[in-house]
Amino acid sequence: MKAARLHNYGEPLQLDEVDLPKPKGDSVVIRVGAAGICHSDIHFMHGEWQKTIPVKLPVTIGHETAGYVEEVGESVRGLAKGDVVAVFGGWGCGVCQFCKGGDEQLCNSPIWPGLSQSDGGYAEYMYIPSYRFLVKAPGLDPKYVAPLTDAGLTPYRAVKRIRHMLNPNSFTLLFGVGGLGSYAIQYLKLLSPTNVITVERSENKIKLAKDMGSDYVINSKNEDVVSSINKITGNHGVDVVLDIVASKDTLDVGIACLKKRGTLVLIGLMGNSFNMPIVESIINEYSVIGSLWGNYNELTEVISLARANKLKTIINPFKLNDVGKAIESLEAGKIQGRAILIP
Amino acid sequence: MKAARLHNYGEPLQLDEVDLPKPKGDSVVIRVGAAGICHSDIHFMHGEWQKTIPVKLPVTIGHETAGYVEEVGESVRGLAKGDVVAVFGGWGCGVCQFCKGGDEQLCNSPIWPGLSQSDGGYAEYMYIPSYRFLVKAPGLDPKYVAPLTDAGLTPYRAVKRIRHMLNPNSFTLLFGVGGLGSYAIQYLKLLSPTNVITVERSENKIKLAKDMGSDYVINSKNEDVVSSINKITGNHGVDVVLDIVASKDTLDVGIACLKKRGTLVLIGLMGNSFNMPIVESIINEYSVIGSLWGNYNELTEVISLARANKLKTIINPFKLNDVGKAIESLEAGKIQGRAILIP
Amino acid sequence: MKAARLHNYGEPLQLDEVDLPKPKGDSVVIRVGAAGICHSDIHFMHGEWQKTIPVKLPVTIGHETAGYVEEVGESVRGLAKGDVVAVFGGWGCGVCQFCKGGDEQLCNSPIWPGLSQSDGGYAEYMYIPSYRFLVKAPGLDPKYVAPLTDAGLTPYRAVKRIRHMLNPNSFTLLFGVGGLGSYAIQYLKLLSPTNVITVERSENKIKLAKDMGSDYVINSKNEDVVSSINKITGNHGVDVVLDIVASKDTLDVGIACLKKRGTLVLIGLMGNSFNMPIVESIINEYSVIGSLWGNYNELTEVISLARANKLKTIINPFKLNDVGKAIESLEAGKIQGRAILIP
Amino acid sequence: MKAARLHNYGEPLQLDEVDLPKPKGDSVVIRVGAAGICHSDIHFMHGEWQKTIPVKLPVTIGHETAGYVEEVGESVRGLAKGDVVAVFGGWGCGVCQFCKGGDEQLCNSPIWPGLSQSDGGYAEYMYIPSYRFLVKAPGLDPKYVAPLTDAGLTPYRAVKRIRHMLNPNSFTLLFGVGGLGSYAIQYLKLLSPTNVITVERSENKIKLAKDMGSDYVINSKNEDVVSSINKITGNHGVDVVLDIVASKDTLDVGIACLKKRGTLVLIGLMGNSFNMPIVESIINEYSVIGSLWGNYNELTEVISLARANKLKTIINPFKLNDVGKAIESLEAGKIQGRAILIP
Beta strands in C124-244 (DSSP E): 125-128, 134-136, 171-175, 195-200, 216-219, 238-243
Å between D119 CA and nearest CA of chain C: 21
- The helix/strand/coil state of D315 is strand
Residue A260 to residue A254: CA distance in whole angstroms: 13
Q: Do C168 and A192 touch (CB under 8 A)?
A: no
End-to-end CA separation in angstroms for chain C: 10
Determine the average pLDDT of the residues in B277-295. Answer: 96
From the list A168, A169, A191, which residue is nearest C193 (CB)? A191
Count Cβ–Cβ pairs < 8 Å, chain A vs chain D. Answer: 33
pLDDT of residue D57: 96
Beta strands in chain A (DSSP E): 2-6, 14-17, 28-36, 59-60, 65-72, 84-87, 125-128, 134-136, 171-175, 195-200, 216-219, 238-243, 258-266, 273-277, 287-290, 315-319, 338-342
Indicate whether B298 pLDDT > 90. yes
A52 phi and psi, to 5 degrees?
Answer: -65, -45
Residue C82 to residue C137: CA distance in whole angstroms: 11
The residues near B36 (Cβ < 8 Å, ≥ 6 apart) are B62, B64, B65, B146, B147, B149, B150, B151, B338, B339, B340, B341
Over the range C294-326, which residues count as b (16 or more CB within 10 Å of their CB) and which as e?
Answer: bbbbbbbbbbbbbbeeebbbebbebebeebeeb
- The helix/strand/coil state of B108 is coil
pLDDT of residue A106: 97
Give the H or E element holding residue D230: helix D225-233
Q: Do C282 and D275 touch (CB under 8 A)?
A: no
From the list C193, C302, C310, which residue is nearest A305 (CB)? C193
pLDDT of residue A50: 87
Residue C95 to residue B75: CA distance in whole angstroms: 13
Sign of CA dihedral D219, D222, D224, D227: negative
Confidence of residue A290 (pLDDT cuts 50, 70, 90): very high
Determine the average pLDDT of the residues in D129-154. Answer: 98
Chain B residue with CA closest to C77: the answer is: B93
- Residues of chain C contacting A, Cβ within 8 Å: 163-164, 167-169, 190-193, 300-302, 304-305, 308, 310
Chain B residue with CA closest to A170: the answer is: B97
Chain A residue with CA closest to C186: the answer is: A193
- The amino acid occupying position D92 is G
Q: Please, what is the average pLDDT of chain A? A: 95
Q: Do A287 and B288 touch (CB under 8 A)?
A: yes
Q: Do A300 and C169 touch (CB under 8 A)?
A: yes
Q: Do B278 and A292 touch (CB under 8 A)?
A: no
Q: Do D191 and B190 touch (CB under 8 A)?
A: no
Sign of CA dihedral A209, A210, A213, A217: positive
From the list A192, A305, A310, which residue is nearest C191 (CB)? A192
pLDDT of residue B336: 81
List chain D residues with CB under 8 Å of A105: none
pLDDT of residue D232: 98
Q: What is the dihedral of CA B114, B117, B119, B120, to 10 degrees?
A: -10
pLDDT of residue C53: 84
Å between B259 CA and nearest CA of chain D: 16
DSSP state of A220: T
Residue A320 near residue A1 (C-beta atoms within 8 A): no
List chain B residues with CB under 8 Å of A269: 278-279, 282
C139 phi and psi, to 5 degrees?
Answer: 85, -5
Sign of CA dihedral B98, B102, B103, B108: positive
- Could you tell me the pTM of the whole model? 0.97
Q: Do D310 and B168 touch (CB under 8 A)?
A: yes
Residue A132 near residue A21 (C-beta atoms within 8 A): no
Residue D286 to residue B222: CA distance in whole angstroms: 54
Give CA separation, B274 vs B248, B265, D117, in Å.
5, 13, 58
Give the H or E element holding residue D125: strand D125-128
ipTM: 0.96
* Most A-contacting residue of B289, B291, B295 (CB-CB within 10 A), to test interface: B289
DSSP state of C68: E
Q: Which residues pair with B155 in a beta bridge?
A: none
List chain D residues with CB under 8 Å of B163: 163-164
From the list B78, B95, B297, which residue is nearest C100 (CB)? B297
From the list B25, B77, B100, which residue is nearest C296 (CB)? B100
Q: Do B100 and C131 touch (CB under 8 A)?
A: no
Q: Which residues pair with B319 in a beta bridge?
A: B342
From the list D190, D191, D193, which residue is nearest B305 (CB)? D193
Q: Do D94 and A295 touch (CB under 8 A)?
A: no
Q: Do A276 and B274 touch (CB under 8 A)?
A: yes
Determine the average pLDDT of the residues in D202-225. Answer: 95
Residue A41 near residue A61 (C-beta atoms within 8 A): yes
In this complex, the chains that touch B, judged by 3 or more CB pairs closer than 8 A, are A, C, D
Residue B175 to residue B199: CA distance in whole angstroms: 5
Determine the average pLDDT of the residues in B8-19. Answer: 96
DSSP string, C302-313: HHHHHHTT----
Q: Do A132 and D94 touch (CB under 8 A)?
A: yes
The residues near C124 (Cβ < 8 Å, ≥ 6 apart) are C1, C2, C3, C31, C32, C320, C343
Determine the average pLDDT of the residues in B19-35. Answer: 95
From the list D192, D193, D305, which residue is nearest B168 (CB)? D305
List chain B residues with CB under 8 Å of A108: 260
Burial class (CB in 10 A: 0-12, 13-18, 19+), D33: buried
Residue A131 to residue D107: CA distance in whole angstroms: 17
Q: Do C291 and D273 touch (CB under 8 A)?
A: no
Q: Do D102 and A102 touch (CB under 8 A)?
A: yes
pLDDT of residue C179: 84
List chain B residues with CB under 8 Å of C98: none
Given its phi and psi angles, is residue D172 left (phi above 0), alpha (psi -120 to 50 degrees) or beta?
beta
In this predicted structure, which of A30-39, A279-288, B120-129, D50-59 has the lowest mean pLDDT?
Answer: D50-59
List chain A residues with CB under 8 Å of B252: none
Residue A37 near residue A327 (C-beta atoms within 8 A): yes
Give the H or E element holding residue D84: strand D84-87
- The amino acid occupying position A14 is Q
Q: Do D290 and C282 touch (CB under 8 A)?
A: yes
In this complex, the chains that touch C, judged by 3 or more CB pairs closer than 8 A, are A, B, D
Q: Do B102 and C102 touch (CB under 8 A)?
A: yes
Determine the average pLDDT of the residues in D288-312. Answer: 97
Sheet holding C59-60, edge to edge: C14-17, C2-6, C59-60
Residue C60 near residue C123 (C-beta atoms within 8 A): yes
| CA angle at D195 for the pair D190 and D198, rounded to the nearest 5° | 95
B342 phi and psi, to 5 degrees?
Answer: -120, 115
- The helix/strand/coil state of D102 is coil
Indicate whether A36 pLDDT > 80. yes
Q: Do B167 and D301 touch (CB under 8 A)?
A: yes
Chain centroid to CA C323: how far? 20
- Residues of chain A contacting D, Cβ within 8 Å: 25, 77-78, 93-95, 97, 100-102, 131-132, 295-297, 300
From the list D106, D261, D282, which residue is nearest C260 (CB)? D106
Indicate whether C321 pLDDT > 90. yes
Q: Please, what is the average pLDDT of chain B? A: 95
Q: What is the per-residue pLDDT across D13-53, written as a single tens digit (0 to 9) for each? A: 999 999 988 999 999 999 999 999 998 999 999 998 888 88
Confidence of residue B300 (pLDDT cuts 50, 70, 90): very high
Residue B156 to residue B191: CA distance in whole angstroms: 10
Beta strands in C1-152 (DSSP E): 2-6, 14-17, 28-36, 59-60, 65-72, 84-87, 125-128, 134-136
pLDDT of residue C337: 84
